Amino acid sequence: MNCKIKGKSEKATVTIRQADLRDARPICALIKSNPLELIVRPLGDIVRNIDRFTVVYAGGRLVGCASYSVLPEAGNFTKASIEMTSVAIRKSWRGRGLGRQLVEAMVERISRLRPVQIIVLTYTPEFFRKIGFERIAKQDIMYKIYSGCMNCTKHSNPFTCPEVAMAYTPKSDDGPTETAKGILKMNDNCLFCKIAAGTIPSAKVYEDDNVLAFLDIAPVEKGHTLVISKRVHSEALIETPDDVLAELFAVARKIGAAMMKAGFGGFNVVQNNYPDGGQAIPHIHLHVIPREKGRKGPLAWASGSNPYADDAERAAYAERLRAALA
C-alpha cells in the first residue's frame, strides 16, 4: 500500500506493508522509544514474530508498526479472538493520519483470519472508537487478563490499569459472529477449564483429582482464593451436580481452615451466579477470602481492591496457604 502524505514542509511517500526480518531492529527501537505507552519487546521476540507485524515507512524510514496475538493460546482456535499489540507511530509523524491507516490495514489483515473479535488495550480509546472499536469490560476478556496481563511489568493490577479494553467485530459473510461471552461458555474455550488443564498458569494453593484452588489475580483481600471444578464445566450453582458441589465446598472448608492456621482472623466464602449476580467467569467457582485480624464487619466487595505488589508477593501468599494445608 503506497500513498502520498503531506508533511510540515514536504510530501513523502508512505508505504504500509507486512514486515520482514530487515525491519526487526527498527521496530525494536520504535517500541523502546514509547516506554510509557507500550510494553518493551526484546529483539528476539520481535524476530520470532516478525510475520505478525505490519510496518509504515515514510521517506525511507520506519515510522510506525503494529502486531497481533491470537487469544486464547489454547482451546478452539477457530473461535479465537485476536489482540492488536505494539501499535506505535513515531512522535514526529503523528497527526497526519498514519495511525488510522495503520490500524485499518491491521484490521483488514486480521479479519482475514476470521477471529470472533479484534481486541486492543489502549490509552487512546477515542482514536480507536472512530475506527469502529467499542469499549468493553475487562471482565469480558478474562482469558487475556490471566494469560497476559498477570505478567505485565508496568501495572500490578489489570483492573486498575489505565488502559481501556476495546473490541471490533469483523464483518463476516457467514452471518453474525459469536460474542466473547459466548466463547467463554464453550467447554473447550473456558478460561477456568484451561487453568485447570494447566495451559494457563496460576498460583496454585491446592489441587486434587477433581478440584483446583488458586489465588485470584484481582484479589478483594490478599490471599483471595478461587476453588474450581476440574471435572465438570457448568456455569452456576443450580446447574452443577450435587456431588461436584460437595467436592468444591469440602475444599473451600480446607482452604478456610488453612487460612486460620496461617494466622488470619477469619474468612468469607462467596459464590456468585450469572453476570447480574456478579459472576465474571461462567464456570462454577467459590471465592474463599481471608480477613486479617481486626478487620471486622461485612466484606466490602471490590475486585482488585487489594492487589499484590508483585509476583513475588503473590507467590509468598500462595506458599503461606500451601504450608498451612500441609
User: 11-32, pLDDT tens digit by residue?
Assistant: 568 899 999 999 999 999 999 9
Q: Which of 241, 220, 303, 299 is nearest to 249 (CA)?
A: 241
**What's residue 40's pLDDT?**
87
Is 272 found in the same domain as 136? no
**Structural domain contains residue 284:** yes
For residue 122, count other CB atoms closer than 10 A to its CB: 20
Residue 293: give its domain's CATH number: 3.30.428.10
- Where is the domain boundary, 184, 214, 240? 184
H or E element in which residue 316 lies: helix 311-325
pTM of the model: 0.53
Is 134 found in the same domain as 275? no
- Where is the domain boundary, 154, 184, 214? 184
Half-sphere exposure of 291 (CA within 13 A, CB side): 14
User: Can you read off the three cell numbers belonging to residue 290?
Assistant: 481471608
Is 207 found in the same domain as 144? no
Would you call 233 a catalytic residue per the annotation?
no
User: Can you read off the three cell numbers belonging to residue 255?
Assistant: 482452604
Catalytic residue among 224, 233, 283, 285: 285
Is 231 found in the same domain as 145? no
Predicted confidence pLDDT, tens digits, the chain (326 residues): 555 444 443 456 889 999 999 999 999 999 999 888 888 899 999 999 999 999 999 988 999 999 999 886 444 555 688 999 999 999 999 988 899 999 999 999 999 888 888 999 999 999 999 888 998 887 777 665 555 555 566 656 666 678 888 999 887 554 333 333 333 233 556 888 888 888 888 999 999 988 999 999 989 999 999 999 988 888 889 988 888 899 999 999 999 999 999 999 999 999 999 888 988 888 999 999 999 998 877 787 777 778 899 989 999 999 999 999 99
Is 133 found in the same domain as 209? no
**Structural domain contains residue 26:** yes
Is 164 found in the same domain as 38? yes
- Where is the domain boundary, 184, 219, 251? 184
Is 251 found in the same domain as 162? no
**Structural domain contains residue 265:** yes
Is 226 found in the same domain as 162? no
Q: Which domain holds residue 164?
A: 2-184
**Structural domain contains residue 212:** yes
- The mean pLDDT value of the chain amounts to 84
**Structural domain contains residue 196:** no
Residue 70: give its domain's CATH number: 3.40.630.30
Please provide the DSSP assignment of 161-210 as one string: SSPEEEEE----TTSPPPPHHHHHTSGGG-HHHHHHHTSS---EEEE-SS
Is 121 found in the same domain as 58? yes
C-alpha span between 279 and 272 (Å, rounded): 5
**Structural domain contains residue 190:** no
**Structural domain contains residue 238:** yes
Is 225 found in the same domain as 120? no
Is 48 found in the same domain as 172? yes
What lies within 8 Å, CB to CB, of 160 at 6+ separation is 304, 307
**Structural domain contains residue 192:** no
Is 236 found in the same domain as 210? yes
How many structural domains does the chain have? Answer: 2
